[in-house]
Amino acid sequence: MISTAHRLVNLEDLHQAMRQGRDLLYPSEPKIMIGTATCGLAADAEEVLHAVREEVANSKLPYQVTETGCIGWCSQEPLLDICIPGRPRVTYGRMKPGRAREIVRAIPEVKREWALAMMPGDENTLNGAHVNYCVPHNGHMDGLTAYKDLPLFKRQLRIVLRNCGIINPDNLEEYIARGGYHALWHALRKHTPEEILNEVKRSGLRGRGGAGFPTGVKWQAVRDAQGEPKYVICNADEGDPGAYMDRGVLEGDPHSVLEGMTIGGYAMGAHEGIIYVREEYPLAVMRMKQAIRQAQDAGLLGQSIFDSGFSFEIRVVKGAGAFVCGEETALIRSIEGKVGEPQQRPPYPAQHGLWGKPTCINNVETWANIAVIVQRGGDWFSQIGTAKSKGTKVFSLVGNIENTALIEVPMGTTLAEIVYEIGGGVPNGRACKAVQTGGPSGGCIPADKFDLPVDYDSLNQAGSIMGSGGMIVMDDHTCMVDIAKYFLEFLEDESCGKCFTCRVGTQRLKEIVTRISQGEGKEEDLDLLQDLSWLVREGSLCGLGQTAPNPVLSTLRYFRSEYLAHIRDRRCPAHRCRELITFAIDPVLCNGCGACVQICSGKAILGEKKKPHIITQAQCTKCGACLEMCKFDAVLVH
């Protein structure tokens, strides 16, 4: 039941909650934080959490143990942080339960030799506040680098990710302590809906879901549209493979999305919001539902929020596993309980959306920007970024990269800065070949174009798109023909089948590229690919088909020689296409340890112990497991 005692009605209530939250965020006793977003859990954060809890309980230590979202340092998961009052926060990476116990036992001493970095204070982009942890000490700790001096964080500006890895996402008070729900109070009590709408327009914010449509313009259209009730939808379908920006926000800072949507509802005159989350994100679904309950209990959702007379409700709808449902009209059909087939536009959802009513769909990241825009003003926001792309963008920096990470940088940061400085380049001494942006609708940008600033227009010109923010770095062991084939398989699979050109076109494109990857291609195939691409683009109804040829076209444009090597020389330069490679064992380097024999999936490896082994080609499945297994680099690929 709603306990009126906890209902936040006015600014004083909000300040009260803020004080409670501060005591949790910056307690007077040592605090141990463990990152338990999905990625942390995959790296066994739960065991670390359990070990720390046990250690604290058994030794009756007066410490707080809390969970937090993902700070974005994925390559170092699981992460553990220690905050001792008056001293910098210290981060440890790749935690194991045993080591975590030792770190806890050592408090108040800091195990510097294991630490990754330290954070002397919090910067908060929401209100420009700075909290210094290091009073009365100075913010220095011998031998430890501050976050803001690390290449990974130096260039970052965290607006959307402002709370991720800082607050406990299960805790509403901590969100409020960092300025949360103040923008909502201001919007509802001090501004008219038109004023909020104008602020969003002035910010120049463009949608972060891929296409980059100006958010203020969309909101105006929904506000002006005839028909009641109006709906607000958060697109959390995050279908692009290799992208997890939205998951980071949903799991790490759920209230930022709720606050943005509520402000949007007020500006557009909507009273119901829906968050459509893909079913592959069970933790995000859980966190969002919990945040909604908390907001309801606190009166931040429901009737007459902050006694303003404005009412708003939000609910979660879980997706059912279809990439095309990220497309807005398909998403709406899916909420209505139908198959997710995109519809002809116009009419746009702004006029004719959910249940035929005016509907505003924005991406998670778009919504998470709103509170900051309202709080700091559209002018402040529009100073960040480039002429036509304002603000910041979150990227998931993954693939063959040293620091796999979730990062947020101002628009206009170059690819070189992102890949080499922030990401630390390609590991294992290999060369960087390309970066893939924009998911299946995007393309591959070659390394010699990395001086390109990342904004909507530059990436378009380079034959890719900004997309939702997946950035997959590829080294010289990546075959571009294989990548084109990979995306075509994806698109063939995910095409809903409504348009002939998309359904059959992606299939034919895939067949041609597959043929090339098997060494059976002809040079005329390359022209055929171009022609067919044009047909698929022109003849398809929705963005899936219209952009489906991009991965092929961009690889053809920049890596034509690789296609030709497959066709003319029947050779895969990256040693990836199975039909064109063979495995062998170097008799000099092989010492006959037998590790490869155990793992071989085709039982193709023969040899006596401690004698050089050989591979029987007829039985070799080319799975490459022996190559992975061999510690002596004795497995050769031709």
Ligand X SMILES: Cc1cc2nc3c(=O)[nH]c(=O)nc-3n(C[C@H](O)[C@H](O)[C@H](O)COP(=O)(O)O)c2cc1C
Binding site for ligand X (CB under 6 A): 207-211, 213, 235, 237-239, 324, 326-328, 361-363, 366, 468, 542-544
CB nearer other proteins, residue 281 or residue 559 = 281
Report what 88 binds from other proteins, ligand FES, ligand X, none; CB cut-off 5-8 Å by kind: none
* Residue placing its CB nearer to ligand X in the complex, 257 or 577: 257
Q: Between the CA atoms of 546, 547, 548 and 554, what dihedral angle is there, to the nearest 10 degrees? A: 140
Residue 107 or 629 with smaller CB distance to other proteins: 629
Q: By the criterion CB under 8 A, which residues form the site for other proteins? A: 38-39, 41-43, 74-75, 77, 238-244, 247, 279-282, 317-318, 320-323, 334-340, 396, 398-400, 404-406, 427-428, 436, 439, 470, 472, 474, 478, 483, 486-487, 490, 494, 496, 595, 598-599, 601, 623-625, 628-629, 631
d(CA 551, CA 441): 7
CB–CB of 463/450 below 8 Å?
A: no
406 binds, among other proteins, ligand FES, ligand X, none (CB under 5 to 8 A by kind): other proteins
* Phi/psi at 632 (5° precision): -115, 15
When the beta carbons of 92 and 244 are compared against ligand FES, the nearer one is 244
Q: What residue 213 binds from ligand FES, other proteins, ligand X, none (CB within 5 to 8 A, per partner kind)?
A: ligand X
Between CA 579 and CA 638 the distance in angstroms is 11
Least spacing, CB of residue 285 vs ligand FES, in Å: 17
Q: Given the rule CB under 6 A, which residues bind ligand FES?
A: 241-242
Residue closer to other proteins (CB basis): 371 or 496: 496
Which C-beta is closer to other proteins: that of 329 or that of 478? 478
Report d(CA 364, CA 238) in Å as an integer.
9
Residue 320 one-letter amino acid: A
Nearest Cα neighbor of 306 from 249, 263, 270 is 263
Give the shortest CB-45-to-other proteins separation in angstroms: 11
User: Smallest distance from the beta carbon of 243 to ligand FES, in angstroms?
Assistant: 7
DSSP code per residue over 126-147: TTTEEEES-SSS-S--TT--BG
Binder of residue 625, out of ligand X, other proteins, ligand FES, none (CB less than 5 to 8 A by kind): other proteins
Q: Whole-angstrom Cα distance, residue 592 to residue 596?
A: 9
CB of 573 to ligand FES, least distance (A): 24
Q: 3-state secondary structure string, 206-219?
A: ECCCCCCCEHHHHH
Tokens at 614, concatenated: 């050989």
Residue 30 interacting partner from ligand FES, ligand X, other proteins, none (CB closer than 5 to 8 Å by kind): none
Residue number, 284 or 462, with CB nearest to other proteins: 284
Q: How far is the CB of 212 from ligand X (least distance, A)?
A: 7
CB of residue 306 to other proteins, shortest distance in Å: 30
Nearer to ligand FES, 197 or 277 (CB): 277
Interatomic CA distance for residues 116 and 106, integer angstroms = 17
Q: Would you state the structure tokens that stand for residue 528, as one six-digit string?
A: 């055929």
Q: What sign does the CA torsion over 237, 243, 249, 250 have?
A: positive
Least distance CB 213 / other proteins (angstroms): 24
Closest distance of CB 350 from ligand X, Å = 11
Q: Is 627 left (phi over 0), alpha (psi -120 to 50) or beta?
A: alpha
Of other proteins, ligand FES, ligand X, none, which one sits near residue 181, judging by CB under 5 to 8 A according to partner kind?
Answer: none
Please name the residues in contact with 385: beta carbons below 8 A apart, sequence gap of 6 or more: 204, 391, 392, 410, 411, 412, 455
CB of 605 to other proteins, least distance (A): 14
Nearer to other proteins, 500 or 632 (CB): 632
Which partner from the list other proteins, ligand X, ligand FES, none does 399 bind, CB cut-off 5 to 8 Å by kind? other proteins
> Among residues 104, 208, 110, 112, which one has the least CA distance to residue 160?
208
Compare residues 38 and 235 and give the one whose CB is closer to other proteins.
Answer: 38
Q: Which does 631 bind (CB under 5 to 8 A by kind): ligand X, ligand FES, other proteins, none?
A: other proteins
List the single partner that 478 binds among ligand FES, other proteins, ligand X, none, CB under 5 to 8 Å by kind: other proteins
Q: Phi-psi bin for 354: left (phi > 0), alpha (psi -120 to 50), beta? A: beta
Q: Which has the closest alpha carbon to 455: 402, 400, 391, 504?
A: 391
413 touches, from other proteins, ligand FES, ligand X, none (C-beta below 5 to 8 Å by class): none
Please state the separation of Cα 175 from the chain's center in Å.
Answer: 21
At its nearest, how many Å lie between ligand X and the CB of residue 312?
19
- Closest CB 289 distance from ligand FES, rounded Å: 23
Please report how close the Cβ of residue 427 comes to other proteins at its closest, in angstroms: 6
* Cβ distance to other proteins smaller for residue 62 or 337: 337
550 binds, among ligand FES, ligand X, other proteins, none (CB under 5 to 8 A by kind): none
- Please, which residue, 212 or 242, has the CB nearer to ligand FES? 242
| Pair 382, 390: CB distance under 8 Å | yes
29 and 38 Cβ atoms separated by less than 8 Å: no
Cβ atoms of residues 377 and 533 within 8 Å: no
**Distance from C-alpha of 489 to C-alpha of 172, rounded to nearest angstrom:** 43
CB 159 within 8 A of CB 211: no
